[in-house]
């Protein structure tokens, strides 16, 4: 029998999972990965080995929607039937926001799940669905230890001045503060940097994907990050606007162009790269397009990214390493080259061949700043934190 941890990432219409073996040396190797997509319309399941070879698949067809409980029940039953040698000992969840109570990963209870569910008022795009995943596990697998690993935790080391807004106390007392996200990814990346830049103290990481942010890390601790109160602010993203002046939002409502609901949709679902280009929120598609609006969207993304890196370099008092990660960061040599070119004044130099090959180190030997491309692994970080909090029972 193989003891294992299941890592669950619950979305609005998907439930992804990874199975990690509780091995003797605590490396937690990935055994199986998979999930159910399009749960609300045409659910389909797929499971693969760690190296990407398909194990099994199933389609339910049109008009057979499933909720998170049904999806998780199917996955657990599939594991019991198809992978009889695996015994799940604990479950780990990515949860974006831990609120004021949780600066570190925590073992979930019914009361804590209720608290985290209440935070969906702050972060509406992810929190509710991640809590649904935890509730589903509690129902389908009663008694199984569950751990929430928070995207906001890594940023609780930011200085107080970086965590507040210049608002009246009444507003701040409602929980309004600079939370910061993508912390699980940054937690993983900052542990990898010393393998490639052992002397780097001042590090900036760009987690650049469908959701995108930048983090300034000093001596392994976050001191600033671009995604702020919820998952909307900071860099422009695939469909999320990034920073927009507050007075613009007031104007759009007062003018009658938008009400609150339609404005929220414009900012979260119709903005960002999609909103600027009018074509797509996919960076690869935009880079391949000859449409000038596609070029404008890419140029804007690079512009805001460079502006943010420049500001964070000032906060750090210099820069020792710049790291690109996540979908765009790991795969777009065009974006990386454009960013480094605009930062040459800092002493950054890029090796074009290494960059085009998506090598880990893409800076030249004489570059004053290491430029790295490090694939992130949020699921492994969740598995490790889950193991640390539940290993006595695993």
Catalytically active residues are 151
Which residues fall within 8 angstroms of residue 304, CB to CB, at 6 or more apart?
235, 236, 242, 243
Check if the beta carbon of residue 162 is closer than 8 Å to that of residue 224.
yes
CA distances to 69, 162, 228, 355 from 319, rounded to whole Å, are: 46, 19, 22, 20
Question: How is residue 97 annotated by DSSP?
Answer: -
248/145 Cα distance (integer angstroms): 46
**Residues making up the binding site:** 9, 16, 94, 207-211, 327-331, 378
Burial 82-114 (b: 16+ CB within 10 A, else e): ebeebebbbbbbbbbbbbeebeebbebeeebbe
Return the exposure string of 239-266: e unless at least 16 CB atoms fall within 10 Å of the residue's CB, then b.
bbbbeeeeeebeebeeeeebeeeeeeeb
- Rounded to a whole number of angstroms, the distance between the first and last alpha carbons of the chain is 13
What are the helix and strand counts (H, E) for the chain? Answer: 15, 13
Question: Known binding site for ATP: residues?
Answer: 16, 207-211, 327-331
Neighbours of 167 (CB within 10 A): 12
The length of the chain, given as a count of residues: 394
Between CA 331 and CA 374 the distance in angstroms is 10
Write out the H or E segment, with its range, that includes residue 365: none
Binding site as annotated, residues for substrate: 94
Going by the annotation, the residues of the binding site for Mg(2+) are 9, 378
Look at the alpha carbons of 313, 316, 321, 327 in this order and tell me if their dihedral is positive or negative: negative
Q: Is 203 helix (H, G, I), strand (E, B) or coil?
A: strand
């Amino acid at each position: 029998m193989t003891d294992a941890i299941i890592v669950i990432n619950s979305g609005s219409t998907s439930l992804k999972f990874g199975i990690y073996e509780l091995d003797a040396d605590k490396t937690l190797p990935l055994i199986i990965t998979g999930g159910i997509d399009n749960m609300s319309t045409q659910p389909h399941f797929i499971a693969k080995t760690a190296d990407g070879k398909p194990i099994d698949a199933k389609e339910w067809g049109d008009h057979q929607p499933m909720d998170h409980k049904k999806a998780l029940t199917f996955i657990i039953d599939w594991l019991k039937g198809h992978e009889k040698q695996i015994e799940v000992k604990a479950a780990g969840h990515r949860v974006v926001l831990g609120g004021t109570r949780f600066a570190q990963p925590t073992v979930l209870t019914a009361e804590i799940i209720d608290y985290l569910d209440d935070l969906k008022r702050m972060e509406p795009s992810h929190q509710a669905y991640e809590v649904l995943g935890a509730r589903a596990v509690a129902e389908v697998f009663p008694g199984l230890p569950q751990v929430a690993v928070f995207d906001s935790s890594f940023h609780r080391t930011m200085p107080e001045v970086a965590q507040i807004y210049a608002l009246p106390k009444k507003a701040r007392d409602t929980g309004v503060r600079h939370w910061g996200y993508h912390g699980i990814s940054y937690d993983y990346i900052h542990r990898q940097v010393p393998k490639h830049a052992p002397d780097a103290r001042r590090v900036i990481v760009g987690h650049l994907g469908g959701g995108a942010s930048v983090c300034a890390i000093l001596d392994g601790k976050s001191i600033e990050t671009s995604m702020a109160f919820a998952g909307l602010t900071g860099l422009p993203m695939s469909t999320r606007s990034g920073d927009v002046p507050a007075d613009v939002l007031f104007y759009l409502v007062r003018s009658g162009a938008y009400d609150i609901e339609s404005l929220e949709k414009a900012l979260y679902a119709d903005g960002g790269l999609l909103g600027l280009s009018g074509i797509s929120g996919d960076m690869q598609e935009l880079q391949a397009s000859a449409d000038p609006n596609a070029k404008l969207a890419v140029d804007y993304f690079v512009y805001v990214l460079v502006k943010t890196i420049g500001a964070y370099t000032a906060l750090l008092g210099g820069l020792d390493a710049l790291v690109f990660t996540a979908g765009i960061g790991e795969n777009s040599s065009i974006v990386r080259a454009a960013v480094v070119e605009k930062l040459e004044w800092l002493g950054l130099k890029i090796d074009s061949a290494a960059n085009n090959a998506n090598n880990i180190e893409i800076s030249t030997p004489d570059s004053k700043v290491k430029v790295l491309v490090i694939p992130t692994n949020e699921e492994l970080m969740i598995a490790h934190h889950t193991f640390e909090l539940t290993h006595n029972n695993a």
